[in-house]
């Protein structure tokens, strides 16, 4: 008997999750013998539901929500003996991982692709004992993301994060980081460190253009100057996918990092506040199987 679980955040996508649920239940009902609906009501619910799906040998888990719901679900599925295939119905503001792996941002299209049952393995990250999908951040960006309101995200999308980030960074002083990585170590003053797992961070799909969801690497950017002239030069390079080429940006590619700081700082994990430094992070390569579009189906539609 095959089983699928839908983990739904009812407040996501201006409550579009609820209106889409009957369609999701019908589709999965045609693919699996039993479909269980699990609705999140608070922090940690999606993680517990994911753990239940592993323990009870579900064949598939579908997350209907934003990046926060995806992150929680991944923490429930990671490093388990049995891991269901994982489907993402993007209903958040940014949906970074969906962008990176090629899942349509239209929720109905994302739902339909599950019927092909095509999956690919993708990396996830582990920072101390917590798992993540997209990015680790150290510096003022941690404050910036928490200051972005729901109204700002709705109106401006990913631009809201950049605006708040710039406003926060301008008023900050640099701190000293030491980053141990597979090629050696880096020590210096910085205003911001980003360790990206995918090419899309905060909705900017070219931040790390060479990043692949299964390359086994973190792509680390260290911003060493945030004066106004520097920011004005960094922004065009960010938009063109050339951030690592800026003279005030240090770029490192590594499967693991160990980070210590000269002062008390918090690492931001996939947009949420994480743990105090120091921390260690590593890539779990090709760790989970994700539902993705059937490229043959897309090609045949394009030929018609």
Per residue in 107-137, pLDDT (tens digit) is 999 999 999 999 999 999 999 999 999 999 9
147 and 267 both lie in a single domain: yes
pLDDT of residue 90: 94
85 and 150 both lie in a single domain: no
pLDDT of residue 2: 97
Indicate the pLDDT class of residue 96, thresholds 50, 70 and 90.
confident
CATH code: domain of residue 136: 2.60.200.40
Give the torsion through C-alpha atoms of 75, 78, 82, 86, to 10 deg.
70
146 and 231 both lie in a single domain: yes
Residue 223 phi/psi, 5° resolution? Answer: -90, 115
CATH code: domain of residue 25: 3.40.50.10330
pLDDT digits (tens, 9 = 90+) for 180-205: 999 999 999 998 899 999 988 766 66
293 and 152 both lie in a single domain: no
147 and 178 both lie in a single domain: yes
Instruction: Give the SS3 label for residue 213.
Output: coil
pLDDT of residue 163: 60
**In this model, does residue 291 exceed pLDDT 90?**
yes
pLDDT of residue 145: 61
Containing domain of residue 265, as a range? 132-285
Query: What is the count of structural domains for the chain?
Result: 2
235 and 266 both lie in a single domain: yes
214 and 258 both lie in a single domain: yes
291 and 278 both lie in a single domain: no
157 and 51 both lie in a single domain: no
163 and 271 both lie in a single domain: yes
50 and 166 both lie in a single domain: no
254 and 183 both lie in a single domain: yes
pLDDT of residue 296: 41
């Amino acid at each position: 008997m095959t089983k699928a679980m839908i983990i739904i955040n009812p407040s996501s996508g201006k409550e579009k999750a609820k209106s889409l649920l009957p369609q999701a239940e019908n589709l999965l009902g045609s693919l699996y013998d039993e479909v269980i609906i699990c609705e999140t009501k608070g922090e940690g619910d999606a993680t517990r539901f994911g753990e239940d799906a592993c323990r009870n040998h579900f064949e598939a888990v579908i997350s209907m929500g934003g990046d926060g719901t995806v992150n929680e679900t991944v923490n429930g599925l990671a490093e388990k003996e049995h891991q269901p295939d994982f489907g993402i119905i993007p209903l958040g503001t940014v949906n970074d991982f969906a962008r990176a792996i090629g899942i349509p941002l239209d929720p109905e299209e994302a739902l339909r692709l599950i019927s092909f049952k095509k999956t690919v393995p993708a990396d996830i990250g582990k920072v101390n004992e917590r798992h993540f999908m997209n990015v680790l951040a150290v510096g003022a960006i941690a404050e910036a993301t928490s200051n972005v309101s729901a109204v700002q995200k709705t109106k401006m999308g990913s631009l809201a994060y950049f605006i708040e980030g710039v406003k926060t960074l301008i008023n900050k002083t640099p701190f000293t980081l030491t980053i141990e990585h597979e090629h050696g170590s880096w020590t210096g003053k910085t205003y911001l460190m980003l360790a990206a797992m995918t090419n899309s961070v905060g909705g900017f799909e070219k931040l790390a253009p060479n990043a692949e969801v299964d390359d086994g690497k973190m792509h680390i950017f260290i911003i060493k100057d945030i004066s106004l002239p520097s920011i004005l030069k960094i922004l065009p390079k960010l938009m063109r996918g050339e951030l690592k080429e800026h003279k005030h940006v240090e770029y490192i590619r590594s499967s693991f990092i160990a980070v210590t700081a000269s002062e008390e700082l918090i690492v931001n994990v996939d947009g949420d506040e994480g743990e105090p430094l120091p921390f260690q992070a590593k890539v779990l390569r090709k760790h989970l199987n994700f539902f993705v579009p059937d490229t043959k189906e897309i090609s045949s539609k394009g030929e018609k």
